[in-house]
Amino acid sequence: MQIRMTDLAVKKLSYTGQGQITHWDTSTPGFGVRCSTKRKSFVVMYGKARRLKTLGRYPDLSLGEARKQARLFLATENLSGDPTAQHEYKTVVAAYLEDCRERLRDSTLEGYLLYLNNISFAGSIDDVTRADIINGIEAFTTSASSQNYAFTTFKVFFNWAVRRQYVEKNPLNALKRPNRAVARNRVLSEDELKTLLNFTMAHRNRFHDIVTLLALSGQRRSEIAGLRWSEVEEDSLTLPPERTKNKREHRIPLSSQSLKLLHSIDGGQLYVFGTNTDDQPYNGWSKAQRRLLKETGLDHFTLHDLRRTFSTTHAQIGTPIHVTEKLLNHVSGSISGVAAVYNRHSYVEEMQAAMNAFDSHVSELLAS
């Protein structure tokens, strides 16, 4: 007999006059409550032989805990716990994620899912080597921070697998996390940039508007996420010294796409453009970034990679390097040291011409 199993439904189940009867849960296949003349017990059916395993008696074992145990058991029914057995890597991952599901925050679980499901290995978990994991991480991730997170994810997973006797040792035990100084060199291709902007412009929300402005202006995340209406002029942005990395005022011309977006933003849509005292800075970056990658199908990139992509695009369209550095507000580039002391030219006209060319390039890209 099948029922929609709730705490109240289990409580109302009647004991039998003789024999036993099992009520099966409609939401968790293979999980049920077996009622006898004197007790109710949670059970799970598994395997081709449709064997039954008793999980515990009601009400000593709650419905929620019994359902959790059933799901974990069903996910691991092919894992015998025998250290000499060969266990499929994907099956062990499924068991681990099921075990994590009830005890971790959703944001943490999303990170585990991202790396363990996308950096995958075929065959037995015993055959996965240290080199396999490191090569998989390096192929899937581009930033030092994401490599560190992926490394930690795999190390924790293999420690869990060792404790459960699914593998004899953790292949990452002798290693420390990757060097945080790994060079960042991710640049979005034109096709990727087109995909990204088409998506963020079509699916407007606070995070997507920030991403669009980062791609079109080349500025730093904090500068765009903290933008105020007082900093927005007719065709440019002027960032005050207290909001720039080098503590210098920075003025940058805006592309027509940026201006169009800014003119369409409601004051409450982005913190930076609000004037209310209860405005809050944007948070939830990691979760929003993972959702964006999933929805666009793009390979992993960081928001800072958009700044590098902006610079690379200017190089492609012929913008002189010193003008690009002015747009990025770099002070240690081609005009630095003594040259910077004597060269006080603002390059306003050159920056405007460069942004016009960039605007035309992006417009043609989006129209192609």
Can you give the pLDDT at residue 247?
Answer: 85
Q: Which residues pair with 232 in a beta bridge?
A: 237
Q: Which residues contact 193 (CB under 8 A, 6 or more apart)?
A: 215, 309, 313, 362, 365
Distance CA 108, CA 235 (A): 41
Can you give the pLDDT at residue 41?
Answer: 93
Q: Which residues pair with 212 in a beta bridge?
A: none
| Domains parsed from the chain with CATH numbers | 2-62 (3.30.160), 76-183 (1.10.150.130), 190-367 (1.10.443.10)
The tokens describing 74, both together, are 């069903």
What is this structure's pTM? 0.53
Can you give the pLDDT at residue 212?
Answer: 95
Distance CA 215, CA 195 (A): 12
Can you give the pLDDT at residue 338?
Answer: 38
Show pLDDT as tens, one digit a residue, over the chain (368 residues): 788 899 999 999 999 988 889 999 988 878 999 999 989 999 988 776 777 888 999 999 999 889 888 887 776 665 544 444 567 888 888 888 887 876 777 777 888 888 888 887 888 888 888 888 988 888 777 667 778 888 999 999 999 888 877 888 899 987 776 554 444 678 999 999 999 999 999 998 889 999 999 999 999 988 888 888 888 888 898 999 988 888 889 999 998 999 888 888 754 444 444 444 445 667 778 788 888 998 999 988 889 999 999 999 999 999 999 899 999 998 655 444 434 443 446 688 899 999 999 999 999 999 98
β-strands 2-3, 21-25: how paired? parallel
Can you give the pLDDT at residue 120?
Answer: 79
Burial 270-302 (b: 16+ CB within 10 A, else e): bbbbbeeeeeeebeeeeebbbebeeeeebebbb
Can you give the pLDDT at residue 10?
Answer: 93
Cα 26 off chain centre by: 32
The tokens describing 240, both together, are 């005050």
Q: How many CB atoms lie within 10 A of CB 256?
A: 15
Can you give the pLDDT at residue 86?
Answer: 62
Distance CA 328, CA 123 (A): 48
Distance CA 165, CA 159 (A): 10
Q: Phi/psi at 233 (nearest 5 deg)? A: -100, -170
